[in-house]
Structure 1
Amino acid sequence: MKIARDTWLIFQRHVTLTVRSPVLIMFGLVQPITYLVIFTPFLLPGLASLGATTYADAYRVYVPGLLVAMCLFGGLFSGFGLLAELRSGVIERCRVTAVSRVALLLGRAASDVTVMLAQAALITVLALPFGLRVPLADLVLSYILLALIGLMTTAISYDITLLIKNEQTLGQVINSLSQPLALLAGVLIPLALAPAWIRDVALWNPFSWATNGMRSLYGGNIGDPAVWQGLLVVSVLAVLTILWSARLFTRAVR
């Protein structure tokens, strides 16, 4: 109970700080909105081989990939916020309080994931005028999948931050990690259009399973095995990365 209460307190603190800086959230939406409005129409001819005949079809294929990309990049870059608090002494001051060390991690991670989901919801709403329609049950399950992706990437980012603790090196590592993961997940163009060897390599990328699951949900195919495979893969990895992060974090602020 103490961990849950402390996590809620830390979550409230970080959400309050985020609400006071809405400009940061809006700047984080500039690139996704640009891709949503300008890039997606270019995909229609290329997606014709997958059965896309209208712009609504193109958005059903592209928007779920875009949302996965947002959670992937947003989660992996969340470590910079943790590093800033480590450098400014915020974590050090929290260490002398009775707040649970694990709660310091979980509350912050929950706040980051909440921001990602809010941004994803806005992108989904903005896609409605372009013909995007998603059944409610599929939409709810897709956001559960996005939350798990956000938790996993946030935990990975915290792990890397706690191990490196250097802004320049952290940026290089995150960029080197995020780009191939995103491309091999098919967030821009479905992997069905890729060469066979790329599809084989992508099988080792958990984000490709998540993207396939998201596209099935946005296509209204909640019973597709890809949905449950993506949920299973991401759920297991999210639990493992959070446990590892909690262990590293507890050692770092002891």
Structure 2
Amino acid sequence: MPRDIWLIFRRDMVLALRNPAWIMIGLMQPVLYLFFFGPLLESITENTPGFPPGTAWQILTPALIIQIALFGSSFVGFALLAELRTGVVERLRVTPVSRMALLMGRVLRDALQTVVQAILIIILAYLVFDLKASFGAILLTLLIVGLMSVTLSSCSYALALRIKDENAFPAILNTVLMPILLLSGIFIPITQGLAPDWLYNVSRWNPFTHVVDAERASFRGDFTTDALLTGSLVLFGMTVLGVFWGVRTFQRENA
């Protein structure tokens, strides 16, 4: 099994490295938010009660890293749909490679890409803006975003295999991702001091809200908060369910 996963990972990684533009494309939106939204958030955090502890960059940077995983990993199913259309998946089905490896090799490639993009965002925030975070906090942040990428990539591939429609796929994703984005507090934290009670209570049902809170707690070095523990447990549960759905779908559809 590990050898099969490595073979699929290496194949997909080679294909990705042939077109390194994915790095810049995936970073464009977060970089724009850093430059044009970050300075506004500095003034807001200084003058508005209700914001979580930490500087504006400790609030915004981890959220943008989650955004990279949220959108970048959710749309990877497009590549699988293209391979279905061109017959690549059919050729892989007749090989002795395990069906689980067909998924996990791709998922690990996607997670590595997301982690690389997250590292570049952190470096930029350190060099250009006033970001402060310990090395341990950054490592924990990268682990969280890597697991989130594994979760969303698995779900994206499973959804692509289930619907097999390149027109319906983006419509479904946009319908699901927009409320997740708005209710996760990525741009403006949804706290009891800022949001109406009903909005705060609704946001608590969004599992990604807890992951964002965990990232922010990690960045400010607060490893004892309930936010970090809750977000980690929620993320672990989502990862188990996402990988399970992806593996079952690959085994069923590629039997």
Answer yes or no: same fold by TM over 0.5. Answer: yes
1:215 paired residue number:
216
Cα RMSD for the two superposed structures? 1.4
* Gap change, CA 1:180 and 1:51, over 3 Å in 2: closer
The residue that corresponds to 1:124 in the other structure is 122
Amino acid corresponding to residue 145 of structure 2 in structure 1: L
1:217-242 CA-to-partner distances (Å, cap 9, x unmatched) read 11111222211211111111111111
Q: Which moved more, 1:23-32 or 1:202-211?
A: 23-32
The answer on 1:176 being equivalent to 2:196 is no
Per the alignment, in what secondary structure is the counterpart of residue 167 of structure 1? coil
Q: Which runs of 4+ in 1 moved over 3 A?
A: none
Q: 1:46 matched to which residue of 2?
A: 44
| 1:4 partner letter | P
When you count helix as a share of all residues, which structure comes out higher?
1
Unaligned runs of 5+ residues in structure 1 are: none
Aligned in 2, Cα 1:217/1:50: closer, same or farther, shift over 3 Å? farther
Which residue of the partner structure matches residue 78 of structure 1? 76
CA distance in 2 between partners of 1:51 and 1:25 (Å): 35
Q: Does 1:111 align with 2:103?
A: no
| Gap regions ≥5 residues in structure 2 | none
Deviation at 1:25, TM superposition (A): 2.1
- Looking at structure 1, the residues matched to 157 and 205 of structure 2 have their Cα atoms a distance apart, in angstroms, of 22
Aligned to 2:55, the other structure's residue is in SS state: helix
- What residue number does 2:252 align with? 251
**Aligned position for 1:203:** 204
Provide the residue aligned with 1:186 in structure 2.
185
In structure 2, what is the Cα distance between the partners aligned to 1:251 and 1:39? 45
Query: TM-score with structure 2 length normalisation?
Result: 0.94
CA distance in 1, matches of 2:135, 2:223: 11
| Comparing 19-28 and 210-219, the one that deviates more | 19-28
Q: CA deviation at 1:69?
A: 1.0
- Matched-pair identity in %: 39
Change (3 A) 1:99 1:149: same
